[in-house]
């Protein structure tokens, strides 16, 4: 049984459903021969549902018959009748006349021995077989139906009709050439004739039956019937020696059958225990695998959700930062193109610059001096990294202190702050120049008069609110 279970699981995983149904059939047959009809019913139900799900009408009908046969063995005639009806409907849909006839014959066994329903099922089964093209198989099956019909008439004490159907059974089974079916038919008819006080006919059939059994079958239930009939016949003929000898054979057969039954019962229990233990292990293993897969799925789903949330947050803040940077760049570019007196004054996004306490309004001399200084700065003097008040004083012949005061009165900022803002404006213009996209930050720093990259970085971000690297990445071509 363990091998059956492994094979069934493998075939299902392969998607080879035809082979899977064959395994189901083998499991059901194994339990049938072991006499474990409850297990046969359980597996046949599972196969029936599997066939229904897969839309396999013929296999669904076949396993409905198996379920019915198992219910018959369990004396559940109501359930057996329901399964037979289901099988009949499915075979009718498939147009399978042979299976319909066979199912009716099987169904007849679920009815009471002398019931009208049993006779009706047998006659309908015979009618269907008779309509089919004659073959060895159909004739063999038809002989079985005729024999069962004869048994029904005999039970109803309608012996004329019984004899007619028994004759039909013998004729058709002889035509079929099926020796096994002939054993079944002849042994039951022999038993009938001994009851009808026709020992000659019963002896003839019993001897033929015993000869057939020795030839093809060996000891079995029909051999048991034949020996009982022969024993009675010999006794009626006053041949008590042969009657006793035959009775001993019958007893030996019964004893061997009983011993065999005990062995089969033991094997059935052991097989059932082994199979169910293995099945339980397989179920537990599948349960563990399913639980592990479920946990993996939940973990993977959680990780995906977490990554999705993290990615969403990253995208949101990245876009927010990019938007903020673009806004700062826009304002810095706008600021770099306006008059010095309004530098960054209305830009709430940019940090506040160092401003001096409010000084006196610049006079005409301050304006002239600042214009001269601005002219020098515009001429490129801002690029000098060592530019100072003293250098400007030398170039303008003015006192350094007076230059510092003129700048602060005119701009409201210290000379250093004003100079750095000028340099940063130039840096913003250079970074915004589409014709110069590959300018490096180091080159930019030195070209605008800063001694080193660090100072330039610090002053640029303090003035514009954004680093020169971010400005270059987000500002050009935007």
The CA distances from residue 460 to 1, 40, 288, in Å, are 83, 87, 63
Look at residue 327 in the predicted model and tell me its pLDDT: 82
pLDDT value at residue 390: 92
CA 475/CA 444 separation, integer angstroms: 15
Whether residue 383 is contained in a domain is answered as yes
Calpha distance 68→45 (Å, rounded) = 10
Q: How far apart are CA 275 and CA 255, in angstroms?
A: 29
Report the candidate in 72, 149, 156 with the shortest Cα–Cα distance to residue 109. Answer: 72
**Residue 398 placed within a domain:** yes
Within a domain: 281: no
Between the alpha carbon of residue 231 and those of residues 223, 237, 241, 343, the distances in Å are: 12, 10, 10, 132
Q: Please give the tally of structural domains in the chain.
A: 1
**What length is written for the chain?**
478
Please state, in angstroms and rounded to a whole number, the distance separating the CA atoms of residues 159 and 444: 123
Residue 301 maps to a domain: no
The helix/strand/coil state of 15 is coil
SS (H, E, C) 309-339: HHHHHHHHHHHHHHHHHHHHHHHHHHHHCCC
Chain centroid to CA 142: 47
Angle at 140 between CA 136 and CA 142, to 5 degrees: 115
Burial 448-465 (b: 16+ CB within 10 A, else e): bbbeebeebbebbbebbb
φ, ψ (nearest 5 deg) of residue 396: -110, -5
Structural domain that includes position 332:
328-475
> Torsions phi, psi of 276, nearest 5?
-65, -35
Asked if residue 224 belongs to a domain, the reply is no
Handedness of CA 212, 218, 220, 224 (dihedral sign): positive
- Whether residue 125 contacts residue 101, with contact meaning beta carbons closer than 8 Å, is answered with yes
- According to the model, what pLDDT value does residue 276 have? 64
Spatial separation of the C-alpha atoms in residues 73 and 430, rounded to whole Å:
99
| Predicted pLDDT of residue 204 | 86
- Domain membership of residue 71 (yes or no) is no
Q: Are 51 and 45 in contact (CB under 8 A)?
A: no
pLDDT of residue 345: 35
| Euclidean distance between CA atoms 191 and 272, whole angstroms | 37
Q: Taking the CB of residue 442, how many other CB atoms lie within 10 A of it? A: 12
Integer Cα distance of 162 and 158 in angstroms: 6
Per the CB < 8 A criterion, the answer to whether 407 and 389 are in contact is: no
Residue 422 lies in a domain: yes
pLDDT per position in the chain (478 positions), as tens? Answer: 566 667 777 777 778 888 888 888 888 888 887 788 898 899 999 999 999 998 999 999 999 999 999 998 898 888 988 999 999 999 999 999 989 999 998 888 888 888 899 999 999 999 999 999 989 999 999 999 999 999 999 989 999 999 999 999 999 999 998 888 888 898 889 888 888 888 888 888 888 887 777 776 554 555 566 677 777 777 777 777 877 777 777 677 666 545 555 455 555 555 655 666 676 777 788 888 888 888 989 998 989 999 989 888 888 887 887 788 788 888 887 887 733 333 333 334 444 444 545 455 778 888 898 999 989 998 899 999 889 999 989 998 989 999 999 899 988 889 999 999 999 999 998 888 888 778 888 998 998 999 889 999 999 999 888 899 888 887 654 4
3-state DSSP of 381-440: HHHCCCCCHHHHHHHHCCCHHHHHHHHHHHHCCCHHHHHHHHHHHHHHHHHCCCCCCCCC
145 lies in a domain? no
pLDDT of 344 reads 39
Other beta carbons less than 10 A from residue 327's beta carbon: 14
CATH of the domain at 396: 1.10.10.60
- C-alpha 451/C-alpha 328 separation (Å) is 25
DSSP label at residue 447 = H
């Amino acid at each position: 049984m363990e091998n059956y279970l492994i094979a069934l699981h493998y075939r299902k995983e392969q998607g080879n459903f035809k082979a899977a149904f064959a395994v189901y059939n083998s499991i059901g047959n194994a339990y049938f021969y072991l006499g474990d009809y409850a297990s046969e019913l359980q597996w046949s139900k599972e196969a029936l549902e599997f066939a229904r799900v897969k839309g396999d009408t013929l296999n669904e009908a076949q396993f409905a018959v198996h379920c019915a046969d198992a219910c018959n063995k369990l004396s559940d005639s109501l359930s057996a009748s329901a399964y037979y009806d289901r099988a009949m409907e499915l075979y009718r849909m498939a147009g399978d006349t042979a299976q319909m006839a066979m199912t009716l014959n099987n169904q007849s066994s679920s009815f009471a021995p002398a019931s009208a329903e049993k006779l009706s099922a047998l006659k309908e089964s015979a009618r269907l077989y008779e309509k089919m093209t004659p073959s060895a198989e159909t004739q063999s099956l038809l002989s079985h139906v005729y024999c069962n019909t004869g048994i029904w008439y005999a039970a109803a004490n309608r012996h004329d009709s019984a004899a007619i159907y028994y004759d039909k059974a013998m004729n058709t089974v002889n035509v079929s050439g099926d020796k096994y079916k002939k054993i079944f038919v002849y042994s039951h008819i022999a038993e009938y004739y001994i009851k009808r006080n026709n020992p000659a006919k019963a002896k003839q059939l019993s001897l033929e039956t015993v000869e057939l059994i020795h030839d093809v079958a060996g000891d079995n239930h029909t051999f048991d019937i034949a020996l009982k009939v022969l024993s009675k016949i010999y006794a009626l003929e006053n041949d008590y020696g042969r009657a006793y000898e035959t009775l001993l054979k019958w007893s030996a057969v019964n004893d061997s059958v009983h011993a065999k039954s005990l062995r089969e019962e033991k094997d059935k229990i052991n097989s059932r225990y082994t199979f169910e233990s293995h099945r339980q292990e397989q179920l537990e293993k599948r349960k563990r695998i399913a639980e592990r897969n479920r946990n993996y799925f939940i973990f993977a789903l959680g990780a995906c959700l977490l990554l999705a949330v993290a990615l969403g947050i990253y995208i949101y803040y990245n876009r927010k930062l990019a938007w903020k940077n673009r806004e700062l760049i826009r304002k810095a570019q706008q600021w770099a193109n306006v008059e010095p007196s309004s530098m960054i004054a209305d830009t709430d996004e940019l940090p506040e610059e160092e401003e001096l306490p409010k000084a006196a309004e610049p006079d005409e001399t301050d304006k002239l001096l600042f214009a001269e200084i601005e002219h020098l700065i515009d001429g490129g003097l801002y690029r000098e990294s060592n530019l100072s008040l003293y250098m400007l004083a030398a170039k303008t012949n003015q006192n350094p202190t007076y230059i510092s005061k003129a700048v602060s009165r005119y701009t409201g900022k210290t000379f250093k702050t004003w100079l750095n803002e000028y340099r940063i404006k130039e840096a913003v213009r250079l970074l915004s120049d589409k014709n110069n996209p590959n300018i490096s930050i180091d080159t930019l720093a030195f070209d605008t008069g800063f001694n080193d990259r660090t100072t330039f970085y610090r002053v640029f971000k303090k003035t514009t609110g954004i680093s020169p690297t971010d400005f270059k990445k987000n500002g050009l071509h935007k």
